[in-house]
Amino acid sequence: MSGRNVVGKNVRKVDGLKLVTGGAAFTDDIQLPGMLYGKILGSPHAHARLKRIDTRKAKALLGVHAVLTYKDVPRVPHTTAGQSWPEPSPYDTYLLDSKVRYVGDRVAAVAAESRAIAERALRLIEVEYDVLPAVLDMEQAMAPGAAVIHDESDSKGIHDREHNVAGYIHRGIGDVEQGFRESDCIFEREFRTQRQQHCPIEPHITISWLDANDRLVIRTSTQVPYHTRRQVAMILQIPVSRVQVIKPRIGGGFGGKQEMLLEDIAGALAMAARRPVKIEYTREEEFYMARTRHPQILRMKMGVKRDGTILASHMIVLATTGAYGSHAGTVQGNTGSKVLPLYRAPNMLFHCHVVYTNTPVAGAFRGYGCPQGFFAQETLADEIARELGMDPLEFHSRNVIRLGDIDRLSAQLGEGKEGLPRVIRSCGLPQCMERGAEAIGWREKRAKTQDGGHLKRGVGMACTMQGSGIAGVDWASAFLKMNEDGAFFLQAGAADVGGGADTVLAQIAAETLGVTIDKIVITSGDTDSTPFDVGAYASSTTIISGGAVKKAAEKVRAQVLGLASKLLDTPPDKLECANNEVFTTCACRKSVSMSDLAMHALYKEKLQIMDGASHFNTDSPPPFCATFAEVEVDTETGQVRVVHLATAVDPGVAIHPKLAEGQVEGAVAQGLGYALTEELVLDGAGRPLNANFCDYKMFSAKDMPKLTTILVETDEPLGPFGAKSISEVPINGPAPAIANAIFDAVGVRIRKLPIRPEDVLKALRSEVAAQ
C-alpha cells in the first residue's frame, strides 16, 4: 500500500525501550507500603463439601491480617469468563463456596505480612471434608448415577445440571442426511484432543488496595480490564465506579487472562485487611488453578462426490469445561462456526455437549475451539483427498470458501446465541496455499519415494481460518487530544497483552493524523483514564480498537484541518497532513507545523483539539492461513521431528509486518507444542502430575524447526487501513499439518493429540501386523 508513512512500517515497539532496559513495567514491579501477601488454600480433593472449617489458629498467627472463607464473603453466582454483559457463560462460580469441585479449587484465602507467614497460615486452617465421588472422565459425566457437580440451587445458565451439561449446541444449515445420501463416499472418524495450558511466562498476578478515597484499585495481569471491573464490582457488591482496574504491561495472556481470576479475591482481602494485598500464582498453581484449553472428543463425518466436492459435514463434539463453565458454550460454538465453513458444503450440522468434570477449569485459549476442530476436519480432509486420489491442495482448492461467499453457518452459531451471516470481502487463501506449498517444496517432496532407512520424511498441509472480533458484540472506543508540541495523547481502552497493540494503535493514529510515531503518546487499559473497550480477545484489537482509533483520529484531523484552514487561509479540502505539518495541496505550498498549530489552538483560540469515537462491526472478517509441515519420523522409536514449518497467512493489511510475523511464529510454537508435546496430565484422583516446565514440555529455542512465515496481504474493507487479524489463526494449522505429514512419511493416521512417540510406534506396529 503506497503513500503510507507509518502503517505498514516496522517502527520500534512504543513500549520496547522499557522492556529491553528492565523498566518497572509489569504488575509486580511496584512495592506499596504495608503490602500484604495473599495466598489461596486449594482443595486437595476433586469433589468435596466442607463439613467444618476453622480459621481461628490461622487468624491468631502473628502477621496474619485477613482470613476469608465462604462464611465471610457475599455469595454471588458469576462467571469468571471476561465476556461482554450479559455473559453467555453460566453463572456457576462463587468467590468462595462450601463445596469444592476440582483439585485446587478455592477453600480459603489469607493475607499476611510475608509469603512465609501466609503459607504457614494456610497450614493452620483446619478443614474437614466430606469427600464426594468425582467425575473425571468426560465420557462418564452424563451417565446415569454420575455425581452432580453443580447441585447448588442458585447458579444460572447451566443447560442440564442433573447430567453435568454446562452447554449444548445443535445448529446447522441444509440437511446433512440428504447430503450424505447424495454423496459417493462417506468418511467418518473420531479425534481426541488434550488439556493444554497457556504457560504465560508471567503467571497470573494481582495487587489490590483501597486508595485515599477508599476506592478499590486493582493492578492486574488481565486481557479484560473493563469486564473485570464490572465483575469485581458485582461480586464484592460495590458500585462499578468505586473500582479502578489498571492493566500495566502483561507477560503474555493467550486467552488465559481473558478471565477474572485473582482480582475478586485480591479485592476482598484488601477490603478485609484494609492494606494493599498482592496475590500471585506460583508456576505450579498456574498450571491447574488458572485455565486450560478444552479437551474434546470429536466425531467428524463428511460426504463427498467422487470429484472431491464436499456435500455434507457433520461434527459431533463432546468437550469438558472442567469444574466451571467459563467460555464453555462459546469456545465449543467456535469449533463449529469457524471450522466447518472453511468448506462450501451446502449441508452442515454441528452437535455438541460441553460437560462438567471435576478437573481443572478450561477457558479461552488462543484459537478458541478452532485448534480442536481443525485438527479433526483437516486430518479427515487429507484422508479423503488421498482416498479419492487427489492432491490435498487440489481438494482444498475445490472446496474452500472464497471471495464473495456468504457463510450462513455463522448466522446460526453466534456467541451463545444466533449470530450474523459472514460475508467474505477479502480472501488470500489461494495465494497462501500456493506460496506455502512453494516454501515447503510440496510437489517435489510428495513425489519423492522413501529410501529403506528408519528415518522417513513426509509433508502435510492444512487450511484454517478464524475471525476478527465477535460480530455485533465486540466494540471499543478511543480518545485523542493535542498537546503544545504537536504530539497527541491517545487514550484507548484496548489491552496490549504483549503482542504490540499499543504500537499498532499508535501507528493507526499517526498515519491518520499525518504525524510521526513519536508524536503519539498512548495510555491504554486503565478504566479510570481510558474509555471503554471489551479487551484483548477474539483477534479483535487491531480491527475493532484500531477502528475506534482511526475514527477518533479522523475527527481530530478534521479539527486540525479546520484550524489550519484559518491559519493558512485555504479551504480544508485543499489541505493535507503529513510529517508533523499541515500544508496546502495547491501550488502556493503554504504550511504550518503541528506544534505551531497546537500553540495557536491552546493559547490564542482557547481550544483543546480533542475528540473520541466508538466502533464496532457487524461482521467478523476471517484471516486465512495455510500451514505446511515437513516431518521426519523415526520408525524405530516413533519419534517425530518437524524439519520445516511454513505458514502463509492472510491478515488483511499488516499494520506492522514484523509484529505480525511475530504473532505467527509465536502461535506456531504453541501449535507445535499442542501437536507433539504439551499435555497437562491428571492422576486417577484429578491431581496434576506435571505442573512444571520440566514435565510439561513446551518447545524451546533448540526444539524449534526451521520456520517460514509468509504474509499474504489483502485489503479488508471493514478493517482500519485494510487490516483483519493475525494472532490466533496460525495456531490451528500445525497439528493437522504434522499429522498429515506423518501419514505421508510412514502411512499411519494419528487422530489423538499430542502425537506421542509411543502412539506413532504403536500405530506403526499395528500397521505392520495388519499387512
Partner 1 sequence: MKTMEVRLKVNGEGKQFAVAPGEVLLDVLRREGYFGVKRGCEKGECGACTVLVNGRPVNSCLMFAAQAEGAEVLTIEGVAHGDVLDPVQEAFLDSGAVQCGFCTSGMIVSARALLDRRPDPTEEEVREVMAGHFCRCTGYLKPVEAVLAVARKTKRGGRKQTARVAR
Other beta carbons within 10 Å of 154: 10
Backbone angles phi and psi of 155, in degrees to 5: -75, 155
Residue 436 CB, shortest distance to partner 1, in Å, is 17
Rule CB under 8 A: choose which of 38, 329, 500, 525 binds partner 1.
Answer: 500
Q: Compute how many other C-beta atoms are within 10 angstroms of the C-beta atom of residue 616.
A: 18
> Which residue number, 202 or 611, has a Cβ lying nearer to partner 1?
202
Cβ neighbors of 440 (< 8 A, separation 6 or more) are: 459, 461, 628, 629, 630, 644, 646, 708
Q: Is 701 in the site for partner 1 (CB under 8 A)?
A: yes
**62 touches partner 1 (CB under 8 A):** no
Phi, then psi, of 23 in degrees rounded to 5: -60, 150
Q: Using CB under 8 A, which of 35, 81, 112, 199 touches partner 1?
A: 199
* Least distance from partner 1 to the Cβ atom of residue 22, Å: 2
Q: Which is nearer to partner 1, 28 or 744 (CB)?
A: 28
In the complex, minimum distance from the CB of residue 371 to partner 1, in angstroms, rounded to a whole number: 15
Residue 613: strand pairing partners: 478
- Parallel, antiparallel, or unpaired for β 277-280 and 36-42? parallel
Which CB sits closer to partner 1, 681 or 768? 681
Looking at 3, 22, 404, 453, which residue binds partner 1 (CB under 8 A)?
A: 22
- Sheet with 581-584: list strands edge to edge: 575-578, 581-584, 591-593
Q: Which of 1, 4, 24, 485 binds partner 1 (CB under 8 A)?
A: 24
- Where does this chain touch partner 1 (CB under 8 A) — which range of 434-442, 459-467, 494-502, 564-572? 494-502
CB of 290 to partner 1, least distance (A): 13
Question: Is residue 658 part of the contact set for partner 1 (CB under 8 A)?
Answer: yes
Nearer to partner 1, 118 or 312 (CB): 118
CA–CA distances in Å: residue 62 to residues 53, 228, 267: 20, 33, 22
Q: Would you count residue 33 as binding partner 1 (CB under 8 A)?
A: no
Bond into 736 cis (ω within 30): no
* C-beta of 18 vs 170, nearer to partner 1: 18
Q: What 3 state SS string does 536-591 have? A: CCCCCHHHHHHHHHHHHHHHHHHHHHHHHHHHHCCCHHHEEEECCEEEECCCCCCE
Q: How far is CA 149 from CA 44, 48, 325, 411, 518, in A?
A: 16, 10, 11, 33, 54
Contact residue for partner 1 among 6, 8, 13, 396 (CB under 8 A): 13
For partner 1, the closer of residues 46 and 199 by Cβ is 199
498, 547, 622, 719: which one binds partner 1 (CB under 8 A): 498
Closest to partner 1 by CB, 186 vs 698, is 698
Read out DSSP for 373-384? HHHHHHHHHHHH
Distance of closest approach, residue 521 Cβ to partner 1, in angstroms: 11
Residue from 1, 4, 31, 588 binding partner 1 (CB under 8 A): 31
Q: Is 698 in the site for partner 1 (CB under 8 A)?
A: yes
* Tally of CB atoms within 10 A around 449: 4
C-beta of residue 372 within 8 angstroms of C-beta of residue 333: no
Q: Applying CB under 8 A, which of residues 700, 758, 770, 771 lies at the interface with partner 1?
A: 700
Q: Least distance (Å) from partner 1 to the CB of residue 681?
A: 17
> Binder to partner 1 among 45, 101, 247, 249 (CB under 8 A)?
249
Amino acid, res. 190: E
CB of 10 to partner 1, least distance (A): 7
HSE value, Cβ hemisphere, 13 Å, CA-based, for 703: 12
Does position 485 interact with partner 1 (CB under 8 A)? The reply is: no
Stretch 276-315 residues interacting with partner 1 (CB under 8 A)? 282-283
Record the cell numbers describing residue 705, joined without a space. Answer: 524447526
All cell numbers assigned to 180: 450424505
Cis peptide before 734 (omega within 30 of 0): no
Which residue, 250 or 339, has its beta carbon nearer to partner 1?
250
- Three-class secondary structure assignment of 622-635: CCEEEEEEEEEEEC
Q: From 17-25, 383-391, 608-616, 618-626, give the range in contact with partner 1 by CB under 8 A.
A: 17-25
Report in angstroms how near the CB of residue 30 gets to partner 1 at its nearest: 8
The residues near 766 (Cβ < 8 Å, ≥ 6 apart) are: none
Q: Which string of b and e fits 366-391 if b means at least 16 CB within 10 Å?
A: bbbbbbbbbbbbbbbbbbbbbebebb
How many residues touch partner 1 (CB under 8 A)?
59
The nearest distance, CB 279 to partner 1, in angstroms, is 14
Q: Give the one residue of 707, 747, 752, 756 binding partner 1; rule: CB under 8 A.
A: 707
237 scored as a contact of partner 1 (CB under 8 A): no
Work out which of 2, 21, 213, 449 binds partner 1, going by CB under 8 A: 21
Closest to partner 1 by CB, 508 vs 672, is 672
| The one among 252, 346, 421, 747 contacting partner 1 by CB under 8 A | 252
Between CA 383 and CA 390 the distance in angstroms is: 10
Contacts of residue 297, defined as CB under 8 A and 6 or more positions apart, other chains included, come to: 138, 139, 190, 191, 192, 317, 318, 319
Q: How far is the CB of 674 from partner 1 (least distance, A)?
A: 12
Per CB under 8 A, 702 contacts partner 1? yes
Which three-class secondary structure state does DSSP give residue 312?
Answer: strand
The one segment of 9-17, 52-60, 86-94, 300-308 that binds partner 1 by CB under 8 A: 9-17
87, 382, 661, 679: residue in contact with partner 1 (rule CB under 8 A): 661
Scan residues 508-527 and list those touching partner 1 (CB under 8 A): 518
694 part of the interface to partner 1, by CB under 8 A: yes
Q: Tell whether residue 499 is a contact of partner 1 (CB under 8 A).
A: yes
- Residue 654 Cβ, how far from partner 1 at the closest point, in Å? 12
Q: Which of residues 200-229 bind partner 1 (CB under 8 A)?
A: 200-203
558 belongs to the binding site for partner 1 (CB under 8 A): no
Q: Evaluate whether 476 touches 84 at the Cβ level (below 8 Å).
A: no
Applying CB under 8 A, does 659 fall inside the site for partner 1? Answer: yes
Q: Which residues, at least 6 apart from 31, have a Cβ–Cβ distance to it below 8 Å? A: none
- Closest to partner 1 by CB, 111 vs 487, is 487
Burial category of 38 from C-beta neighbours within 10 Å (exposed 0-12, middle 13-18, buried 19 and up)? buried
The span from the CA of 96 to the CA of 98, in Å, is: 7
Q: Is the dihedral of CA 222, 228, 233, 235 positive or negative?
A: negative
Residues from 662 through 681 that contact partner 1 (CB under 8 A): 662, 664-670
- Contact positions vs partner 1 (CB under 8 A): 10, 12-13, 15-26, 28-29, 31, 198-203, 249-252, 254, 282-283, 497-500, 518, 658-659, 661-662, 664-670, 692-694, 698-704, 707, 709
